[in-house]
Amino acid sequence: MSQRLADPIVKTLKSKGLRITPQRYSIYASLLERTDHPTAEQLLVDLNRDLPISSQATVYNSLQALCDAGLVREVLLEHGVSRYDANTEAHHHFVCRQCGVIEDIDWHTFPDLSLNQLRPGLQAEAYEVTVHGLCDRCCH
């Protein structure tokens, strides 16, 4: 148990006031490890390899709790498809139109947009850029 308490994932979950469940732990661990912005369905498939008890509802509830705690964010790049990202720093995304791979783009890759160019009456709060194109593998 003392070993588990020293676990950085357990520490992070606790620091956000989240109860540690095997699903929350595994989902957060999985999202920290991968950079492919999986959907809840993809996470469920992976999770069931380790914890065959997980249902879709548990995965959604765990993701919701992680999002509410600010540890994970929902990324909407395609209409109606929620993907999840443990990179909560501001960043942009590259989406390959052929294979669908999604890659993070560092925020500082682009100069800041001048949001004060918006028409009066619109109050900007956040933005991010989605670049569409072909990835290395699909370019050839």
Binding footprint of Zn ion on the chain (CB under 5 A):
85, 87, 96, 98-99, 101, 104, 135, 138
Strand partners, 102: 95
Contacts of 20 (CB under 8 A, 6+ apart): 10, 13, 14
Residue number, 50 or 106, with CB nearest to Zn ion: 106
**Residue 136, both tokens:** 């290395």
User: Shortest gap between Cβ of 98 and Zn ion (angstroms)?
Assistant: 5
CA distance 36 to 101: 7
User: Shortest gap between Cβ of 14 and Zn ion (angstroms)?
Assistant: 25
In the sheet with 102-106, reading across from the earlier edge strand, the strands are: 102-106, 91-96, 130-133
Residue number, 61 or 91, with CB nearest to Zn ion: 91
User: Shortest gap between Cβ of 86 and Zn ion (angstroms)?
Assistant: 9
Residue number, 55 or 88, with CB nearest to Zn ion: 88
